[in-house]
Amino acid sequence: MGKTHSRLATSRGFTLIEVLISLFILTVGLLGLAALQIRGQQAELESYQRAQALVLIQDMVDRINANRKTAGCYAFTPLPDTGTVFVGSGAAAPTCGAAYGTTQTRTRADQDVAAWDGLLKGAAENLGASQVGAMIGARGCVTLDTTVTPNVYRVSVAWQGIAKTVNPTSVDPKLTCATGQFGSELQRRVISYSFPMACLNC
């Protein structure tokens, strides 16, 4: 009878250890699942910001094409782009000089750039008193390369990514929009679109 009691006690001890091991394995698995969900949410936010940037680029390209005779007014970022001239977060919209188009077309260009500046700052959507309709720290650049014929406009949108990846200029040296504005260059995201346009008083 003493031996039977001893076996039962040993059996119960092993059962408790097995339960503890099972709980440990379950905890590790749940932590892994939580980390996977966090990465999934980060990837979703990165994807959303990229989609927003594409919409904003197309918006400016359409504005330039719709006011072609004053297209030079939209090229507010000088070449070479050192990353310091942009609109959006932390900047004010510039105005066009008298060298382009007519007073009416220049006014329209100024309104377009100011509207794009507002969109980059999130004016398309509000949450209480905050503008949240754009990416994190969204900034935009428009350059004009007159060394080629026809002239080439480049519209770029930069924003701050969630995780560190690569420096955009290591992929394309021309992706300099808003350089140095996001702390680490490994968190700066840039999308740009280049298109030619014949010089119509640009």
Could you report the per-residue pLDDT of 52-78, keeping only the tens digit for each?
Answer: 999 999 999 999 999 988 999 999 999
What share of the chain in percent tops pLDDT 70?
89
CB 110 within 8 A of CB 96: yes
Most confident region among 8-12, 37-41, 104-108, 139-143 by mean pLDDT: 139-143
Residue 29 class from Cβ within 10 Å (0-12 exposed, 13-18 middle, 19+ buried)? Answer: exposed
First to last CA, the chain: 104
Dihedral sign, Cα of residue 30, residue 34, residue 40, residue 43: negative
Q: Is the pLDDT of residue 8 over 70?
A: no
Q: How many other CB atoms are found less than 10 A from the CB of residue 85? A: 16
pLDDT at 150: 87
Here the tokens at position 102 are 């007519």
Spatial separation of the C-alpha atoms in residues 119 and 59, rounded to whole Å: 10
**Beta-carbon contacts of residue 54 (< 8 Å; ≥ 6 apart):** 191
Cβ-count burial 101-110 (b if 16+ within 10 Å, e if not): beeebbebbb
Q: Is the pLDDT of residue 7 over 70?
A: no
Range in 7-16, 97-106, 114-123, 191-200 with the lowest mean pLDDT: 7-16
Q: Are strands 130-131 and 126-127 parallel, antiparallel or unpaired?
A: antiparallel
Q: Is the pLDDT of residue 3 over 60?
A: no
Q: Is the pLDDT of residue 16 over 70?
A: yes
DSSP per residue, 123-145:
TT-EETTEE-SS-TT-EEEEEEE
pLDDT at 202: 47
pLDDT at 200: 54
The strand ranges marked E within the chain are: 87-88, 126-127, 130-131, 139-145, 151-160, 188-197
